[in-house]
Structure 1
Amino acid sequence: MWLAGPARRRPVGGVPADLRLGFHLERGMRVGLFGGSFNPAHAGHAHVAQTAMRRLHLDRMIWLVSPQNPLKSGRDTASLAERMAGARRMAGSNPRMIVSDAEARLGSAYTVDTLNRLKARFPGVKFVWIMGSDNLASFHRWRGWTDIARTTPIAVVARPDTLMQSRSAPAARRYAAARRPSREAALLADAPMPAWTYLCAPLNSTSSTKLRTVASTLSQSALS
């Protein structure tokens, strides 16, 4: 593997730097980065990933399972191993869908740092950040969110109950002039930045919060 740090590109044991992350990307690939806690992963996540891969004509979709979302409490967060396993089940057998703990391996707590490190490791790869519309509504609270928007194309996939809230979100208003029509989604990876698009598709109402609530209710019922 490679020793950490941009100036220390000396291989150890003959293992290429990219294999340390568990996946390999070629220059020129169009790659979606779908980050989240996936606590737990569900059909709504699969819907977002599949919609983005199809509409953006992506070569790969990488599910970046976060060690811990800085905006959420770790008290109710399942272990990384459990959430990775759930994400793999939802990603299915499509070899172009990759579930990764790259953020833990890179030591990145924030998306802006993850993007910078992946771009440094994979020069020439065309990354697109993928998010559901529920995340666009709070995107302005992310560390370095304007840096992300200025340097990485963003695709937002519509999610239930957040359609109006997300479209009027601070990030949507700030970058209104950079929004590309959804009919040009396949061109997003090559668009001059900042650039983002909003993709509407048949909605999937499953959410991690609802699933955790159901699981908690069933657990309490079993104990009573």
Structure 2
Amino acid sequence: MIRAGLPRAAAGMSVGLLGGSFDPAHPGHVHITRQALRRFALDRVWWLVSPGNPLKTEGPAPLGRRLEAAAALMSHPRVCITDLEARIGTRYTAATLGRLQMLYPEVRFVWLMGADNLTGFHRWDRWEWIMENVPIGVIARPGQGIAARRSKAALRYANAQLPGRASFTLAGQAAPAWCYVNVPMVDISSSEIRARGDWRR
């Protein structure tokens, strides 16, 4: 299939997908990316800088500006910063994943998220389809552990959870499969950075 302008991935590779508006990207994103590469034994991580978050009413900064800032911050030979969703015309994670599975049928994708996202995961479009079609790596953030572990998604798929010590096997597991790992965190968020100054201007 035609993949012009899209990231490259060889057959058999394990690719972690970190989606978000990255408005702006910050050291916390870099930290969890490096941790995900190591803990989940991934060959690559792609930052999917989205055109906009369907769950947020306020629009993000222009896509080009967010891509440029993300690329300046995250410089790693195994990390790709991409506007893939804008290129393939998807906004919801389920649609993006379905399209990627068609475009890269021999690549093993792992969806990456912070524990705070797991807490509200049941509000995502077709969240059960996501759980049942792509392994999910959950990276703990400060203060989010209890709520995440008691979330609707965590309870619904409790039998599919891998122990943290088996995190390196996640990419090779058949979905549903998810793994929650605790890592030392950089406690900073994009919203805090926006509140400090004129990021959107």
TM above 0.5, one fold? Answer: yes
Which residue of 189, 193, 196 maps to 1:214?
Answer: 196
**1-side partners of 2:70 and 2:127: how far apart?**
25
For 1:154, the equivalent position in structure 2 comes to 136
What's the TM-score once normalised by structure 2's chain length? 0.95
For 1:18, the equivalent position in structure 2 comes to 3
* 1:51 alignment partner AA: Q
Q: Which runs of 5+ in 1 are unaligned?
A: 1-8, 10-16, 220-224
> Matched residue pairs, number?
200
CA apart distance, 1:42 = 0.5
SS of alignment partner, residue 197 of structure 2 = helix
Runs of 4+ in 1 over 3 A off after TM superposition: none
CA apart distance, 1:19 = 3.1
Which residue of 109, 115, 118 maps to 2:97?
Answer: 115
For 2:71, the equivalent position in structure 1 comes to 88
**2-side partners of 1:164 and 1:87: how far apart?**
30
2:161 is equivalent to residue 179 of structure 1? yes
For 1:35, the equivalent position in structure 2 comes to 19
**1-side partners of 2:73 and 2:160: how far apart?**
32
Which residue of 132, 135, 138 maps to 2:114?
Answer: 132
Deviations for 1:123-162, whole angstroms, at most 9, x for unmatched residues?
Answer: 1100000011111111111001000000000000011221
**Could you say which structure has the larger radius of gyration?**
1
SS of alignment partner, residue 18 of structure 1 = coil
Contact in 2 for aligned 1:48/1:131 (Cα 8 Å): no
Deviations for 1:97-146, whole angstroms, at most 9, x for unmatched residues?
Answer: 00000000000010001101111011110000001111111111100100
Which residue of 158, 180, 194 maps to 1:198?
Answer: 180
**2-side partners of 1:56 and 1:161: how far apart?**
22
Q: Which runs of 5+ in 2 are unaligned?
A: none
For 2:28, the equivalent position in structure 1 comes to 44
